[in-house]
């Protein structure tokens, strides 16, 4: 046996021995345990947030129907049925509101929630369903409500839903107070009931495994439990994509539209020069007024010019000193002179029309009238 063969054999034995030692150390220091790793829901549970509630009710012998959209013609609600509208009731059409309330009046049980709160929506109008129930006051901000179930640790619920007021609704049962608002109200409607809640998050698939949530769900469904079918609608006719884009996507599409308009304006063909042509010389308005006055004066129309200036002064006098304007003659001149701190003779003379040929008197009285008008 050559030296190389011996060396290779020793290396192989050493490697095997090292592997045995590592394996023995691993088995001695580690313990095999089983762990449950939650996986994302699949199938119907992936898109139906009420799937756990649906299966729980079926396991308890209750007939359940779940659907994504409200379809009253297909559902054929009966007097002993229960309908839970999981989504925002604001998407209900007024025709559907009337049909649902008529069904409730015959013995149905309707469960719905307040609209989800959004920033800046404190003054948003109430959905037609809430208005039809008699609610007119604005919704309250969200606040947690304490839930205590015997044998269970203290819970808080409805932390995300908008609270409401009940003084207009006359509920048979209510949960909350007048100061912070209510999170639950049971409203009698004919032979049936309408339950209004701040939120339905405790009915979600990942929340229904908690005992307080199960107890709360059982109490909510108690009025018609096993008397008829429980209908679960977890997307009550979602609004169209374009409407949602128009109402809520404007922070995105408005700037894009403005950018597109600016780009089109920059790229469009121009007609005519970029700079305006030079303006021709023209007389100022003051020059036209002066020329018109000189023309009238040359044609013996000085009284017309004087009366225009005097009327302008009297118009301002009526606005600033209505009592003095209502006077006549010497009394008016005295009141104006006292107010403007001018000699009464100057005021009285300025208010008298000069002769048509007396140029100096005309100019003096017009000048005095203008000064008096400016001082008012």
Boundary (domain end) residue, out of 221, 237, 253 = 237
The Cα 45–Cα 368 span in angstroms is 94
- 224-267 pLDDT, tens digit per residue, is 998 999 999 987 445 567 877 887 788 999 999 999 999 988 88
Residue 272 has a pLDDT of 63
Residue 252 lies in a domain: no
Residue 337 has a pLDDT of 81
Percentage of the residues of the chain whose pLDDT score is greater than 70:
90
| One domain for residues 190 and 320 | no
Boundary (domain end) residue, out of 222, 237, 252 = 237
Residue 18 lies in a domain: no
Task: Determine the 3-state secondary structure of 135 from DSSP.
Answer: coil
| One domain for residues 312 and 233 | no
Opening angle at CA 321, ends 317 and 324, nearest 5: 90
> Among 41-45, 127-131, 355-359, which stretch is predicted with the lowest mean pLDDT?
355-359
| One domain for residues 321 and 190 | no
| One domain for residues 296 and 231 | no
Domain that holds residue 141: 43-117+126-237
Residue 21 lies in a domain: no
Adjacent-strand bridge partners of 66: 232
| One domain for residues 131 and 228 | yes
Burial of 49 (0-12, 13-18, 19+ CB in 10 A): buried
Residue 165 lies in a domain: yes
- Predicted confidence (pLDDT) at residue 110 exceeds the cutoff of 80: yes
Across the range 28-44, mean pLDDT stands at 82
| One domain for residues 231 and 306 | no
| One domain for residues 225 and 305 | no
Residue 245 lies in a domain: no
Residue 273 has a pLDDT of 64
- 265-321 pLDDT, tens digit per residue, is 888 776 666 666 666 666 677 676 677 767 667 776 777 777 888 888 888 888 888
Residue 119 has a pLDDT of 46
Q: What is the DSSP string of 242-309?
A: HHHHHHH-HHHHHHHHHHHHHHHHHHSPP-S-SSPPPPPP---HHHHHHHHHHHHHHTT-HHHHHHHH
| One domain for residues 295 and 211 | no
- Predicted confidence (pLDDT) at residue 345 exceeds the cutoff of 60: yes
- 72-98 pLDDT, tens digit per residue, is 989 999 999 999 999 888 889 999 999
Q: What is the CATH number of the domain that holds 219?
A: 3.40.50
Residue 32 lies in a domain: no
The Cα 249–Cα 268 span in angstroms is 28
Adjacent-strand bridge partners of 232: 66, 84
- 170-214 pLDDT, tens digit per residue, is 889 999 988 888 999 999 999 999 999 999 999 998 889 888 999
Burial of 48 (0-12, 13-18, 19+ CB in 10 A): buried
| One domain for residues 62 and 170 | yes
Percentage of the residues of the chain whose pLDDT score is greater than 90:
28
What is the DSSP secondary structure assignment for residue 288, as one 8-state letter? H
Residue 319 lies in a domain: yes
What lies within 8 Å, CB to CB, of 208 at 6+ separation is 52, 53, 56, 202, 214, 217
Characterize the bridge pairing of strands 109-113 and 192-197: parallel
Residue 199 lies in a domain: yes
Total count of domains within the chain: 2
| One domain for residues 303 and 222 | no
The Cα 117–Cα 323 span in angstroms is 61
| One domain for residues 233 and 289 | no
What is the DSSP secondary structure assignment for residue 80, as one 8-state letter? T
| One domain for residues 203 and 94 | yes
Average pLDDT, the chain: 84
Boundary (domain end) residue, out of 178, 207, 237 = 237
Task: Determine the 3-state secondary structure of 82 from DSSP.
Answer: strand
């Amino acid at each position: 046996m050559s030296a190389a063969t011996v060396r290779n054999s020793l290396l192989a034995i050493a490697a095997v021995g090292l592997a045995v030692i590592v394996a023995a150390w691993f088995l001695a220091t580690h313990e095999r345990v089983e762990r449950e790793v939650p996986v994302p829901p699949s199938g119907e549970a992936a898109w139906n947030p009420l799937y756990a509630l649906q299966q729980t009710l079926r396991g308890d012998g209750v007939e359940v129907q779940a659907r994504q959209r409200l379809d009253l013609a297909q559902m054929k609600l009966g007097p002993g049925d229960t309908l839970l509208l999981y989504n925002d009731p604001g998407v209900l059409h007024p025709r559907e509101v009337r049909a649902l309330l008529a069904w409730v009046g015959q013995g149905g049980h309707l469960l719905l929630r307040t609209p989800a709160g959004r920033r800046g929506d404190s003054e948003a109008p109430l959905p037609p369903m809430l208005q039809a129930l008699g609610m007119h006051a604005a919704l309250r901000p969200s606040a947690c409500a304490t839930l205590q179930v015997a044998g269970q640790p203290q819970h808080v619920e409805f932390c995300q839903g908008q609270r409401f007021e009940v003084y207009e609704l006359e509920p048979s049962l209510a949960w909350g107070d007048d100061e912070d608002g209510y999170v639950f109200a049971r409203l009698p409607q004919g032979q049936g009931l309408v339950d209004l809640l701040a939120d339905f998050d405790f009915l979600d698939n990942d929340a229904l495994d908690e005992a307080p949530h199960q107890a709360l769900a059982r109490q909510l469904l108690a009025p018609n439990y096993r008397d008829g079918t429980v209908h679960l609608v977890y997307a009550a006719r979602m609004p169209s994509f374009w409407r949602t884009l128009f109402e809520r996507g404007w922070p995105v599409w408005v700037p894009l539209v403005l950018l597109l308009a600016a780009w089109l304006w920059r790229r469009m063909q121009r007609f005519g020069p970029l700079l305006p042509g030079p303006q021709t010389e023209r007389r100022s308005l003051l020059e036209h007024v002066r020329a018109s006055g000189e023309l009238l004066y040359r044609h013996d129309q000085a009284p017309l010019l004087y009366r225009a200036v005097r009327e302008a002064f009297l118009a301002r006098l009526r606005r600033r000193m209505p009592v003095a304007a209502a006077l006549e003659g010497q009394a008016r001149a005295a009141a104006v002179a006292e107010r403007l701190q001018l000699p009464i003779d100057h005021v009285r003379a300025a208010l008298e029309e000069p002769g048509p040929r007396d140029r100096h008197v005309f100019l003096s009285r017009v000048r005095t009238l203008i000064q008096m008008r400016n001082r008012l």
